[in-house]
Amino acid sequence: MRKLVYYVAVTLDGFIAAEDGTYDGFIFEGDHMAGINAHYPETLPTQFREPFGLTDAPNQHFDTVLMGRHTYQVPGGLASPYAHLRQFVVSTQVTGTPSDVEVISSDAIGRVRSLKAEDGLDVWLCGGGKLAAELLPEIDRLLLKIHPVVFGRGIPLFDGKADIRKFQRTDARLFESGVSFMTYDRV
């Protein structure tokens, strides 16, 4: 069975974006970028794969991506940001998406359960915080890129009411850039 993996950048104080949805405070240069791109090339938006020499890089961990409305409609975003993956947007407000982006407008947990039951690579939840809180019962793994920055306020990692879930750290990678890459599996 496939896993639902919440793979996201986060600040030291637990935010995945600033209040306005931007993420300019994150570190986009340094040894962590090469390390992460080599291990998770499919998490780069399609438009950035060629400049990073990853145009033909196979998907190693994910073949499906889930996004909340704000993650999908990030300022300056693309209509099909991950064309190399099967794309889903969970929203009751998004309309007019390209044919390769499916909108899930109800029963997100049921749809995630059906995706997890399919054959294939894992399902990547790339944001946002509200969707992560809603899907927490189905999240099997957290992959957190922890940046050495504090936003003070913004969009939290889990934005909303969620029941307590325990996770166990199963891997840790530290980079000279100050970014740490932590893996937690649901207990």
The per-residue pLDDT for 77 is 78
Q: Tokens for 181, please give them.
A: 């890459």
**Helical (H) or strand (E) element with 128:** none
Side-chain half-sphere CA neighbours of 182 within 13 A: 15
pTM equals: 0.96
Which among 95, 87, 47, 89 has a CA at the least distance from the CA of 72? 89
Position 93 pLDDT exceeds 90: yes
Domains of the chain by start residue, with CATH = 4-186 (3.40.430.10)
Contact present, 171 and 150 (Cβ < 8 Å): no
Task: Give residue-wise pLDDT tens across range 94-128.
Answer: 999 999 999 999 999 999 999 999 999 999 999 99
Q: If phi over 0 gives left and psi between -120 and 50 gives alpha, with beta otherwise, what is residue 160?
A: left
- pLDDT tens, position by position, 23-42: 889 999 999 999 888 999 99
DSSP 142: E
